[in-house]
Structures are given as C-alpha cells and as structure tokens.
Amino acid sequence: MAKSSDTELWALVHAERAGLAEDLAVLSAEQWKHETLCGQWDVEDVVAHLIAAASLNQGRWMRSMLGAGFRADVHNQRRLEEHRGSSPEETLARFRAVINNNIAPSSHTPAYLGEVVVHAQDIRHPLGISQQPSIEALTAVAEFYVSRNFAVASRTQASGLQLRADDGPFSAGSGAAVTGPTLALVMTMAGRSAYLEQLQGPGVSTLRSRIESSEP
C-alpha cells in the first residue's frame, strides 16, 4: 500500500475522531465512568486525554513536559485534568471542538492517528461497541507501528514476527506468523492483550509473552 500523504493522514484523524464522537454521544452517565483498556483511566479520562493530544503543539508540549520533569505519566495526567469538562456533556463538547484540529507536538502524523485509533478502541472494546476504524486508517497505523517505537513499544512487540492482516493489505516482517484482523494487529502492537484472542499463528504465543511481560 502506498504511503498516505500528511493531508490524507489528517483527514483520517478527523474521520476517526468524528466516529468516536458519534459513539460517545449515546453513552449513559454510567458508561462515561466505565473502565477502559487504558490502565486506570475511565471513558471520560481517555476522551480528555484525546482533547489534550489535539490541543498541544510542539512548544506547549515541551513546556508541559519540562514542568513534569519529563515524566510522561505526570504530563498526561495534568493535561487530562486540564481538558476534562465539569460533566461528560462538557467533555464531549470539548472533544467535538477539536475534531478537525491538525495540531501535534511533532511531524509524526501516523503516530497521532494511532493515538486516536487505539484510544477509541480502549473505550469501545470494554463497552461492546462494534464500530471500528477504517482499513485505510488501520493500515497506516500498522505500517508506522511496525517500523518504530513511538509512544508505544510497537516495533519491539512485532520484532522477529511475520504479521499479516486477513482483511486488508498490511503485511510486514519475517519469522513466526501472526495473522488476523488489522485492528487486532494494531491493538496488540500497542500492548492491548484483549485483542490477542482474535489472532492466529505460531507467533501469537511470543506476542502474548511480550505483552504480558510489559503490563504493570
């Protein structure tokens, strides 16, 4: 698959944010407090994190990281708290306001598409929401994730394995095979063990061991 241009990648980011906003609009108050695949964060926390991610250019990100002593967890928590609204309705309104932002701390646009894709599924999977990202978005993220570690140790997770999507064009690497939906490949490269059951092949056990050893 030919690499997408930056303009195309941002269009995919906007589309994935818009799709998540539609899912969030019908959640109950209880569902906004539901656990996610993202550690201790509930649904509203993850949405606030995505708002922050869509609001920080390089300068603002650097100042925030400096203030946090370059501790990413401290930076993330502070910005999350800054952008979370006083109610789920306000948090959703703030998220909708940044849907079409093209703001990021660096030029690694596939990584920021990956952030939206992965965190949207962090919310959807525990709630049983079947909506999925587009194959175009997933393939762009998968190709980036297998090529380098950036925010998540995706390249490390995939090292020495042959990953192949059974629903799209993504294929990379050599070694023990891991086959399944592009979404499951992306989410496991991002360290989400909940998606391992959707994968097949002799390399799945290796991938499982790597993810479980990296979990807190």
34 and 43 in contact (C-beta within 8 Å)? Answer: yes
Examine residue 145 and state whether it is found in any structural domain, yes or no: yes
Examine residue 21 and state whether it is found in any structural domain, yes or no: yes
Same domain, 175 and 198: yes
Using CA atoms of 145, 124, 168, 102 in order, give the dihedral in degrees to the nearest 10.
-60
Same domain, 27 and 110: yes
Same domain, 102 and 175: no
Query: What's the rounded Cα separation, in Å, for the pair 87 and 184?
Result: 32
Region 86-102 average pLDDT: 97
Q: Which of 101, 127, 153 is the last residue of a domain?
A: 127
Same domain, 156 and 58: no
Region 12-39 average pLDDT: 97
Answer whether residue 106 shows pLDDT above 90: no
pLDDT classification of 1: cutoffs 50, 70, 90? low
Same domain, 112 and 176: no
pLDDT classification of 2: cutoffs 50, 70, 90? low
Same domain, 69 and 33: yes
Same domain, 16 and 120: yes
Same domain, 14 and 103: yes
Mean pLDDT of the chain: 93
Examine residue 42 and state whether it is found in any structural domain, yes or no: yes
The structural domain count of the chain equals 2
Same domain, 28 and 113: yes
Examine residue 1 and state whether it is found in any structural domain, yes or no: no
Beta strand pairing call for 176-180 and 161-165: parallel
Range of the domain at 103: 6-127
Q: Which of 95, 127, 159 is the last residue of a domain?
A: 127
Task: Report the 3 state secondary structure along the chain.
Answer: CCCCCHHHHHHHHHHHHHHHHHHHCCCCHHHHCCECCCCCCEHHHHHHHHHHHCCCCHHHHHHHHHHCCCCHHHHHHHHHHHHCCCCHHHHHHHHHHCCCCCCCCCCCHHHHHHHHHHHHHHHHHHHCCCCCCCHHHHHHHHHHHCCCCECECHHHHHCCEEEEECCCCCEECCCEEEEECHHHHHHHHCCCHHHHHHCECCCHHHHHHHHHHHCC
Query: What's the rounded Cα separation, in Å, for the pair 141 and 113?
Result: 7
Examine residue 178 and state whether it is found in any structural domain, yes or no: yes
pLDDT classification of 69: cutoffs 50, 70, 90? confident
50: CATH: 1.20.120.450
Query: What's the rounded Cα separation, in Å, for the pair 216 and 190?
Result: 14
CA distances from 182 to 35, 39, 72, 81 (A): 24, 23, 28, 32
115 and 151 in contact (C-beta within 8 Å)? Answer: yes
Same domain, 79 and 152: no
Q: Which of 127, 159, 183 is the last residue of a domain?
A: 127
Answer whether residue 64 shows pLDDT above 90: no
Same domain, 209 and 155: yes
Tokens of 102: 């093209």
Examine residue 132 and state whether it is found in any structural domain, yes or no: no
Q: Which of 65-69, 108-112, 178-182 has the highest mean pLDDT?
A: 178-182
**pLDDT tens-digit series, residues 121-152:** 999 999 999 999 999 999 999 999 999 998 88
Same domain, 60 and 158: no
